[in-house]
Amino acid sequence: MPSVPRFAGYLLDLDGTVYLSGVALPGAVAAIQQLRAEGRRVLFVSNNPTHTPAEYAARLTRLGIAVPEAAILNSAQVLIEWLDQQQPGARVYAIGEAPLQHGLDAAGFVRATDPRATDVVVASFDREFSYRKLQFAFDALRAGARLIATNGDRYCPVPGGGEPDAAAIIAAISACTGIACEQIVGKPSPIMARAALARIGLEPAACLMVGDRLETDVAMGRGAGMATALTLTGATSRAEALRTPDAADFCIDTLADLVR
Ligand SMILES: [Mg+2]
């Protein structure tokens, strides 16, 4: 395996890359500390919309990586920024967890309470998804609402398995309405890539995108013109990585390989 050169900026996925369920993955903390000590910019870029940036920053700080909220970008923030440009003040029905809803509230969107008076349905990772929520989305879309989503991940890795993620919610809504999701803003979308590059303040060629998923992390980096590293600490097995050896520029066992 070729060693990984140093980059000015690092975009690091969180779940399955830095930690699993809040427990640091081997080598991750020391590698990130070293990159930051060398003056390299590190931005954490997650599709997971179930926590606020403050919660992510607190979690990383507990693990020994003291970061401000501005070092975190997740799909809920990107969706809120994007929708604020598209349709500010829209009446939104969000199928998602509290941090997404609170973010929408804070940005001035109106909580939709009538499917016939709903501009946008947001599909997201929601561990309290229900038939009632599906019915609202069904009625709203049939009355003309747009369908957008924070992220398209099939599942979120947790120790020993995974939790069904936003792809399942999008699929349920699309299955009963026949309406495809208009926009998924999370990785691998260029919307997320643009937001991340703006936040880190570097050109794509100066950045390495590091993550555990080919179809989100690596695909976004590739699409945006960044170098990419696939880590085998999460959703992608060694066997899967070997089947597509050219999928990422680098394949690493853990984040420790970034500073070897
Ligand atoms: Mg991941």
Confidence of residue 60 (pLDDT cuts 50, 70, 90): very high
165-178 average pLDDT score: 98
SS3 for 192? helix
Confidence of residue 2 (pLDDT cuts 50, 70, 90): low
pLDDT for res 116: 98
Strand-pair partners of 46:
74
Percent of the chain whose predicted confidence (pLDDT) is above 90: 93
C-alpha 91 to ligand 1 mean position (Å):
31
Say if CB 150 and CB 49 are below 8 A apart. yes
Selected catalytic residue, list 15, 119, 126, 249: 15
Q: Which CATH architecture has domain 76-184?
A: 3-Layer(aba) Sandwich (3.40)
pLDDT in tens, 214-243: 999 999 999 999 999 999 998 899 999 999
Confidence of residue 246 (pLDDT cuts 50, 70, 90): confident
Q: Report which residue type is found at 144.
A: G
pLDDT for res 21: 85
Q: According to CATH, what is the number of the domain 9-47+187-258? A: 3.40.50.1000
Selected catalytic residue, list 13, 126, 153, 165: 13
C-alpha 216 to ligand 1 mean position (Å):
8
36-55 average pLDDT score: 96
Annotated catalytic, 217?
A: no
Annotated catalytic, 253?
A: no
C-alpha 13 to ligand 1 mean position (Å):
6
C-alpha 236 to ligand 1 mean position (Å):
9
Which residues lie closer than 8 Å to 160 by C-beta, 6 or more apart?
A: none
Structure tokens at 217: 């992390």
pLDDT for res 102: 96
Across the chain, mean pLDDT equals 96
C-alpha 212 to ligand 1 mean position (Å):
5
List, by residue range, all CATH 3.40.50.1000 domains of the chain. Answer: 9-47+187-258, 76-184
C-alpha 21 to ligand 1 mean position (Å):
11
C-alpha 157 to ligand 1 mean position (Å):
7
- pLDDT value at 1 more than 80: no
140-161 average pLDDT score: 93
pLDDT for res 55: 95
- pLDDT value at 175 more than 70: yes
149-160 average pLDDT score: 90
Of residues 1 and 29, more confidence is placed in 29
pLDDT in tens, 112-123: 999 999 999 999
C-alpha 183 to ligand 1 mean position (Å):
20
Say how far apart CA 103 and CA 123 lie, in whole Å.
Answer: 14
SS3 for 258? helix
Say if CB 78 and CB 191 are below 8 A apart. yes
